[in-house]
Amino acid sequence: MSTRTVSDSNDPVIESRDQLVAPMQAGEKPKDRWRIGTEHEKLVFRTEDHRAPSYDEPGGIRDILLAMREYGWEPVEEGGKVIAMAGEDGTISLEPAGQFELSGAPLNSLHETCNEAQRHLHQVKTIGKKLGVGMLGLGMWPDKTRGELPVMPKGRYGIMMRHMPKVGNLGLDMMLRTCTIQVNLDYSSEADMAQKFRVGLALQPLATALFANSPFTEGKPNGYLSYRSHIWSDTDPHRTGMLPFVFEEGFGYERYVDYMLDVPMYFVVRDGRYIDCAGESFRAFMDGKLPQLPGEKPTESDWWDHLSTAFPEVRLKSFLEMRGADGGPWNRICALPALWVGLLYDQGALDAAWDLVKDWSMEEREALRNAVPKEGLAAAVPGGRTLQELGKDVLAIARQGLAARGNPSTSGDNETGFLRPLDAIIESGKSPAQLLLDKYHGPWGGDISRVYEERF
């Protein structure tokens, strides 16, 4: 989740609707300035007993963050506590229970993206060895209850944890127990954004199936391949889902603004302090009628904060976020941006991908999204095929899109090689979660602690 670094000073008050649309319009870039931003979260555990370390304990989350100074990272504080690190490779931040996240820098190529991920993982492994901690690449804690997990000292998390149980049954699980990989991508115009948004939403279930990696809850199989994806279906209906309006004629920035104005608020930040506004209306805030700040109107930073509090399968800010994938090991971190860059950054590939999904009804899209957490690649898609069969076509399109980019590495390899882990998954028909379940029921003999050997 986002780490706020904006000062209250010189922050323009929102006086017109144009300021609400401005962040999305500002995201428009010519194709030669499109970049790739990759985010990946890891579960942190003590190697001696697999316990999740707290923030304050010796060798805990705070000490891991501060140890990153060895590699040139600089602390970011909130309320006198270090809650993130900033550096050339982006930002290292904390999810609610200490999940360690790299929000990578915007980069030109998948080669740079993969080098960035490799640098980061080398750094955290080296520091982890010194501090007696490891990193686990899964979509969800395989054995921890909520009560066994710490809570990080970020103001927004306390507000969210109080609000979540009021609007869904699994929101606290989302916050405390899950991990994801995401990729952030650019667009050239409102029309380009709309086409990419539609393709991204329609094919997000395929990404969920390819990266499904959360089959265990509290030490046992949970009946799902991506329980992380299932959790989102019972977190908060006001700010999650497949966004049917995106597929409606005329969709653009204004319609997304309307959606965000109807998403209930979480908080407002003033003088570095988070003010609990959970459930309040941003529209009322625009009219100066927010009960917590009577007479005060929102600033542009308030709107930017609010944009970060919706969690649909694809999210729009000044770029598009692809949000459907479970956390996983190093090679799959690189595979997710390869999939979406291949599909969305070449017009021929984008058109071909849209042709695959444009005739699906909203009911069919919803049915596929709801089936995938349990069924994975075996889920049925419109037209009578399986998601595995559709996936073969999608990967072929993505490969063509990557080849068309013509981005060789220093050794001359193009970007298509980053799709190989996904080729293997599609060929076998087994999501990563199914391979873990095979081990659990086979050589692990039901011993979930063996999963800690499957770390990065």
pLDDT of the residue at 454: 77
What 3-state DSSP class applies to 85? strand
Please report, to the nearest 10 degrees, the dihedral formed by the alpha carbons of residues 268, 13, 106, 273 taken in order: -30
List the structure tokens of 448.
Answer: 């979930």
Terminal Cα distance for the chain, rounded: 22
pLDDT of the residue at 409: 75
Separation CA 291–CA 250 (nearest Å): 35
Which ranges of the chain have pLDDT less than 70?
1-9, 455-456
pLDDT of the residue at 9: 60
CB-side exposure of 62: number of CA atoms within 13 Å?
A: 15
Domains annotated on the chain, with CATH: 18-454 (3.30.590.20)
pLDDT, tens digit, 9 for 90 and up, residues 79-93 = 999 999 999 999 999
pLDDT of the residue at 2: 53
pLDDT of the residue at 413: 79
Helices (H) and strands (E) in the chain, counts: 16, 15
**DSSP class per residue in 196-254:** HHHHHHHHHHHHHHHH--B-EETTEE-S-SBHHHHHHTTT-TTS-S--GGGGSTT-SHH
pLDDT of the residue at 331: 82
The residues near 54 (Cβ < 8 Å, ≥ 6 apart) are 60, 61, 98, 150
pLDDT of the residue at 1: 52
Indicate the residue type of 275: I
Going by C-alpha positions, the residue among 240, 241, 243, 251 that lies closest to residue 193 is 251
pLDDT, tens digit, 9 for 90 and up, residues 109-140 = 999 999 999 999 999 999 999 999 999 999 99
Handedness of CA 241, 247, 253, 257 (dihedral sign): negative
